[in-house]
Amino acid sequence: MNMEQGISGSNQMQSEDIVALSEKIEKASAFVDLLNLEMEKVIIGQRDMVDKLLIGLLANGHILLEGVPGLAKTLAIKSLASCIDVDFSRIQFTPDLLPADLVGTMIYNQKSEDFSVKKGPVFANFVLADEINRAPAKVQSALLEAMQERQVTIGPQTFKLPAPFLVLATQNPVEQEGTYPLPEAQVDRFLLKVVIGYPTKAEEKMIVRNNISIDGMPKPKKVIQASEILEARKAVREVYMDEKIEQYIIDLVFATRTPEDHGLGHLSQLIQFGGSPRASISMALAAKAYAFINRRGFVIPEDVRAVCMDIMRHRIGITFEAEAENITQEQIIIEILNQIDVP
């Protein structure tokens, strides 16, 4: 779909307006190249993961990163925080962690004979929840409440969390013993679930070379202020989305709920539940953010397809029949993407 083709429907815009908007977005997104340059100093390959981190940051959504140990999940998150002038905190989730260790608690001061609030590590702009599935449900719930409400209640007081506020959680899919898997309803709070794969041979050779060099790993520099991120979020929402693209998103989500209405009747036995309206909202916002980081003022179908897998993989429940046949959410999403007509 080119620029002129995306100008119909109830969200009509004149081609001149789209040109002007594209110019505005190109200026507003100039910092994306600076961020990518700094991230590339530290993260070799894994470009898709870096893009998804930026989408979460710009769409004001949280990210769940899944992958085996050693794939630079934590390093990528710390590096992104280092490129932006924000507060960063890392919480290592363990089975003995308490909600108070996360959000803070009331402490009695003997001198003043009064209680004072000691804020926890969740009061930061970037919160890295390392191995989130290792902590019990109470701790997970405390974090997920902060993610949803952007505020924390300690004793009688409620405190707003700083803006921007972004939770980046990691989990290891291999080791399940002694872990507490996130309930489906809580996983839905994450904008994206990104699955990290292994690097290529050439990338891994570069990773080894960087890590054993005399100078050590390069460190990224701060290239952007937190206030600029907040302004960029407003610009992301201005990115133009044609009504045909909106309908495409709705069709993709509804195909997970009523596959028989979209020529995918055989998936009815494989899908236990489909994406909620939160999936549609998330896909639209993520597609806009993807267009933004590609320096474009309008959304094209490829933007939707680029984010669809990470938006939907944790929002589809599969049946026992699907598990018995080793059919995954990813396979179902690929089939839906291949079936639904692209505008």
- According to the 3-state scheme, what is the secondary structure of 126-171? EEEEECHHHCCHHHHHHHHHHHHHCEEEECCEEEECCCCCEEEEEE
Query: What pLDDT does 12 receive?
Result: 52
Instruction: Say which residues have a Cβ less than 8 Å from residue 77's Cβ, sequence separation at least 6.
Output: 53, 65, 126, 128, 168, 170
Higher local confidence (pLDDT), 107 or 290: 290
Phi first, then psi, for residue 201 (nearest 5°) are -60, -45
pLDDT at position 11 over 50: no
Residue range 117-136: mean pLDDT, rounded: 89
Give rounded-to-5 percent helix, strand, coil for the chain: 50, 15, 35
Residue range 17-33: mean pLDDT, rounded: 87
CA distances from 316 to 118, 296, 313, 328, 335 (A): 39, 30, 6, 10, 13
In terms of Cα–Cα distance, which of 124, 136, 134, 138 is closest to 168?
124
Convert 55-70 to b/e letters by CB count within 10 Å (16 or more is b): bbbbbbbbbbbbbeee
Mean pLDDT of the chain: 86
Q: Reduce the DSSP state of residue 276 to 3 states and report it.
A: coil
Which CATH superfamily does the domain covering 4-339 fall into? P-loop containing nucleotide triphosphate hydrolases (3.40.50.300)
Q: What is the pLDDT of residues 167-188, one digit of tens each?
A: 999 887 776 666 777 877 778 8
Phi first, then psi, for residue 239 (nearest 5°) are -55, 130
In terms of Cα–Cα distance, which of 21, 51, 81, 77 is closest to 287?
51
Tokens at 257, concatenated:
């709920």
pLDDT at position 2 over 50: no
Higher local confidence (pLDDT), 157 or 271: 271
For residue 158, the cross-strand partners are 153
Say if residues 278 and 184 touch (Cβ distance below 8 Å).
Answer: no
Helix axes 73-83, 47-58, angle to 10 degrees: 50
Identify the residue whose tokens are 């100008």.
7
CA 197 to CA 210: how far, in whole Å?
Answer: 20
Query: What pLDDT does 55 receive?
Result: 94
In terms of Cα–Cα distance, which of 199, 198, 193, 197 is closest to 65?
193
Residue range 268-297: mean pLDDT, rounded: 94
Count CB-CB contacts under 10 A for residue 114. 10
Residue range 46-74: mean pLDDT, rounded: 86
Query: What pLDDT does 13 receive?
Result: 62
Query: What pLDDT does 4 receive?
Result: 39
Say if residues 339 and 264 touch (Cβ distance below 8 Å).
Answer: yes
Confidence band, pLDDT 50/70/90 cuts, at residue 303: very high
Query: What pLDDT does 267 receive?
Result: 92
Residue range 31-44: mean pLDDT, rounded: 86
Instruction: Say which residues have a Cβ less than 8 Å from residue 47's Cβ, sequence separation at least 6.
Output: none
Residue range 144-163: mean pLDDT, rounded: 87
Helix axes 277-293, 301-312, angle to 10 degrees: 130
Angle (CA) 68-278-48 rounded to 5° is 35
Q: What is the pLDDT of residues 215-248, one digit of tens each?
A: 777 788 888 898 899 999 999 999 999 999 999 9
pLDDT at position 9 over 70: no
